[in-house]
């Protein structure tokens, strides 16, 4: 091996590496910063500390051995599942599987629907799923891997799922439909009751993607119930994903998939015994998983309790209102749809919103961007409490600069890439 191999033969002192890590992370975008509106899901320093301490305690335990070696992890998993089912109005007989993230939860929902359809809809041997324009790309990822064809709608009239178009797209091969509560691009909850009625009428599996809203909307609803019901309380919803590592405020690595009928969890996991090392049984896609993520999620949920999440919702709604009012007060800016959770997008009538985004970025704001219409997207968290005036003043300046022609868009696109 040459002396300039990437994987060096000689190790280096931890102190040196640690210094390099510190230098590298300082050059990254800060995760928690009032100028960052990309997803960060910050609640408080206290919750950060709970995540860090609980995660560190269980960092080295592998949740795959929860059932055999680490009964506390198995218990956390069961209790996270039970709390989630209760939160999402699950009927008796429902079941919840804990996964590593929203993508895995949605993947498992597609897998469950596909395998259920093999029994329930034997004529659908080339399975298809009908999804709204705004459904998260994790569905296309899952469908591609699972041999399911995605029928994605062409538009979102009124910024929600196009129920009529979805009804028209249902054919003999359709096995599944998707709704989002809320979708990532605009934040307005899809009309789940209407889609659930459609699914029931055609005997299809309706999955609700509650990755963003699952741990926010139930509490927002207690304070302000001005959006449609979206969870397992709606007859016809067969499964719902909800991420604890988003607005549930747990460290990354924890999401949930709840099924109306726990017996259908046979379509999720797999037990395998035909090899020399004995029974291998898992309830989702992942094999080894850190116990840290489970312990952190369990601790945060227990620490906050329902009251903690409701208080958070109260504060988040107050933050959102100040931002929304401020944006609306600037001439030509319009909120896209009706943002039901903690994020929203806004567009411009008569001038270029892309240029406004560029002006904000030049001043150090880290914004999101969306399309259809071109818009600026803000994902709020508690670090934005009190942060609206500074943002709104730079926003107003950016708008003036674009209107007067001092700034022209450099054509930055909505982008979401690893
Ligand atoms: C609505 C929605 N669904 C699914 C996902 C995927 O979640 P994850 O990134 O945890 O895999 C996201 C991520 O932002 C999302 O916003």
Distance, in Å, from the CA atom of 173 to the CA atom of 153, rounded to the nearest integer, reads: 16
> Measured in angstroms, how far is the CA atom of residue 104 from the centroid of ligand 1?
9
pLDDT band at 19 (very low <50, low <70, confident <90, very high): very high
**What are the tens digits of pLDDT across the range 146-164?**
999 999 999 999 999 999 9
Alpha-carbon torsion, ordered 215, 218, 222, 223, to 10 deg? 50
Tell me how far apart the alpha carbons of residues 294 and 80 are, in angstroms, rounded to a whole number.
8
Q: Which residues does 320 contact at the CB level (< 8 Å), separation at least 6?
A: 339, 342, 344, 380
Question: How confident is the model over 289-339, as pLDDT tens digits?
Answer: 999 999 999 999 999 999 999 999 999 999 999 999 999 999 999 999 999
Q: Which long-range contacts (CB under 8 A, 24 or more apart) does 313-318 make?
A: 313/216, 313/219, 313/220, 313/222, 313/223, 314/223, 315/382, 315/385, 316/216, 316/220, 316/342, 316/380, 316/381, 316/382, 317/220, 317/223, 317/224
pLDDT mean across residues, the chain: 96
Distance 183 CA to ligand 1 centre (A): 9
Residues 6 or more apart whose Cβ sits within 8 Å of residue 332? 348, 349, 350, 351, 399, 403
* In the chain, where the domains are located: 52-303, 305-403
CATH class, 305-403 region: alpha beta
Give residue 35's pLDDT.
97
Counting from 1 in the atom list of ligand 1, the atom nearest the Cα of 246 is 10
Does CATH number 3.40.640.10 belong to domain 52-303?
yes
Q: How large a percentage of the chain has pLDDT more than 90? A: 94
Q: What is the spatial distance between Cα 260 and Cα 130, in angstroms, rounded to a whole number?
A: 20
pLDDT at 112: 98
Q: What's the pLDDT at 2?
A: 56
Q: Tell me, what DSSP letter sits at residue 252?
A: S
pLDDT-derived band at 116 (thresholds 50, 70, 90) equals very high
Q: For 169, how many CA atoms within 13 A lie in the half-sphere containing its CB? A: 25
246 CA to middle of ligand 1, Å? 9
Dist. CA 209 → ligand 1 center (Å): 9
Q: Whose CA is nearest to atom 13 of ligand 1?
A: 102
Of ligand 1's listed atoms, the one at least distance from the Cα of 210 is 1
SS (H, E, C) 277-314: CCCEEECCCCCCCEHHHHHHHHHHHHHHHHHHHHHHHH
Least confident of 175-184, 196-205, 278-287, 303-312: 278-287
What is the predicted pLDDT for the residue at 417?
57
Higher-confidence residue of 67 and 243: namely 243
Q: Which residue, by CA, sits nearest to atom 8 of ligand 1?
A: 102
The pLDDT value recorded for residue 410 is 77
**CA-nearest residue, atom 5 of ligand 1:** 102
Q: Which residue has the tokens 């601790």?
A: 299
Instruction: List C-alpha distances in Å: 244 to 174, 256, 319.
Output: 30, 7, 21
Ligand 1 neighbours, Cβ below 6 Å, are: 101-103, 106, 136, 138, 180, 183-184, 209, 211-212, 243, 255
Using the mean position of ligand 1's atoms as its centre, give its distance from the Cα of residue 393 in Å.
31
Note the pLDDT of residue 407: 84
Question: What was the pLDDT predicted at 48?
Answer: 98
183, 212, 243, 415, best to mutate for ligand 1 pocket (most atoms within 8 Å of CB): 243
**Distance, CA 102 to ligand 1 centroid (Å)?**
5
Please give the average per-residue pLDDT across 87-115, as a whole number. Answer: 98
pLDDT at 8: 92
CA distances to 157, 177, 189, 363 from 373, in Å: 11, 24, 18, 24
Ligand 1 binding pocket mutation candidate from 39, 137, 138, 255 (most atoms within 8 A of CB): 138
Counts of helices then strands in the chain (DSSP H, E) = 11, 13
Average pLDDT over residues 20-38: 96
Q: Write out 14-35 in H/E/C secondary structure.
A: HHHHHHHHHHHHHHCCCCCCCC
| Mean predicted confidence (pLDDT) in 367-371 | 96
What does the alpha-carbon distance between residue 208 and residue 49 come to, in Å, rounded to a whole number?
32
* Ligand 1, atom nearest to 104 Cα: 11
pLDDT for the residue 7: 94
What's the rounded mean pLDDT across residues 358-365?
97
Q: Which of 147, 181, 154, 189 is nearest to 168 (CA)?
A: 154
Q: How does pLDDT run across 243-275, given as a tens digit for each residue?
A: 999 999 999 999 999 999 999 999 998 899 999
Mean pLDDT score, 21-41:
96
Among 160, 184, 215, which is best to mutate for testing ligand 1, by the most ligand atoms less than 8 A from CB? 184
Give the Å distance between the CA of 256 and the centre of ligand 1: 12
> What is the C-alpha separation between 118 and 109, in angstroms, rounded?
14
For residues 126-151, average pLDDT: 98
Give residue 4's pLDDT band: very low, low, confident or very high (50, 70, 90): confident
For residue 139, name the pLDDT band (cuts at 50, 70, 90): very high
> Residue 76 — pLDDT band, cuts 50, 70, 90?
very high
Q: Give residue-wise pLDDT tens across range 159-185.
A: 999 999 999 999 999 999 999 999 999
Say how many Å lie between the CA of residue 11 and the centre of ligand 1: 38
pLDDT confidence bin for 411, thresholds 50/70/90: confident
Distance 54 CA to ligand 1 centre (A): 24
How many angstroms is it from 136 CA to the middle of ligand 1?
7
């Amino acid at each position: 091996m040459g002396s300039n191999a990437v994987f060096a033969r000689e190790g280096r002192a931890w102190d040196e590496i640690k210094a390099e890590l510190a230098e590298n992370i300082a050059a990254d975008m800060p995760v928690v910063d009032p100028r960052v509106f990309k997803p960060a899901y910050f609640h408080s320093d206290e919750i950060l500390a709970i995540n860090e301490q609980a995660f560190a305690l269980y960092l080295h335990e592998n949740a795959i051995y929860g059932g055999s070696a680490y009964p506390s992890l198995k218990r956390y998993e069961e209790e996270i599942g039970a709390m989630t089912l209760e939160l999402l109005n699950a009927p008796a007989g429902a079941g919840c599987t804990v996964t590593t993230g929203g993508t895995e939860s949605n993947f498992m929902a597609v897998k469950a629907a596909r395998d259920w359809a093999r029994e329930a809809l034997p004529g659908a041997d080339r399975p298809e799923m009908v999804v709204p324009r705004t459904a998260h790309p994790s569905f296309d990822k899952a469908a591609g891997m699972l041999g399911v064809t995605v029928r994605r709608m062409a538009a979102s009239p009124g910024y929600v799922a196009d129920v009529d178009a979805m009804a028209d797209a249902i054919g003999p091969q359709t096995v599944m439909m998707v709704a989002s509560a809320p979708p990532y691009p605009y934040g307005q909850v899809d009309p789940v009751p209407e889609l659930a009625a459609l699914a029931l009428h055609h005997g299809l599996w309706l999955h609700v993607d509650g990755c963003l809203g699952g741990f926010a909307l139930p509490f927002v609803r207690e304070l302000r119930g001005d959006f449609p019901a979206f969870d397992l309380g709606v007859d016809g919803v067969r499964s719902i994903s909800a991420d604890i590592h988003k607005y549930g405020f747990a460290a990354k690595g924890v999401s949930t998939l709840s099924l109306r009928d726990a017996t259908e969890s046979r379509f999720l996991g797999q037990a395998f015994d035909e090899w020399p090392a004995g029974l291998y049984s898992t309830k989702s896609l992942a094999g080894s998983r850190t116990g840290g993520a489970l312990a952190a999620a369990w601790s945060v949920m227990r620490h906050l309790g329902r009251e903690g999440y409701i208080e958070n919702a109260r504060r988040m709604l107050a933050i959102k209102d100040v931002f929304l009012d401020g944006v609306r007060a600037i001439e030509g800016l319009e909120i896209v749809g009706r943002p039901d959770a903690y994020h929203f997008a806004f567009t411009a009538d008569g001038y270029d919103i892309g240029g406004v985004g560029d002006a904000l970025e030049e001043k150090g704001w880290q914004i999101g961007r969306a399309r259809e219409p071109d818009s600026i997207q803000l994902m709020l968290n508690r670090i934005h409490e009190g942060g609206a005036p500074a943002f709104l003043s730079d926003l107003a300046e950016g708008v003036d600069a674009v209107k007067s022609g001092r700034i022209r868009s450099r054509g930055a696109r909505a982008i979401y890439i690893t």
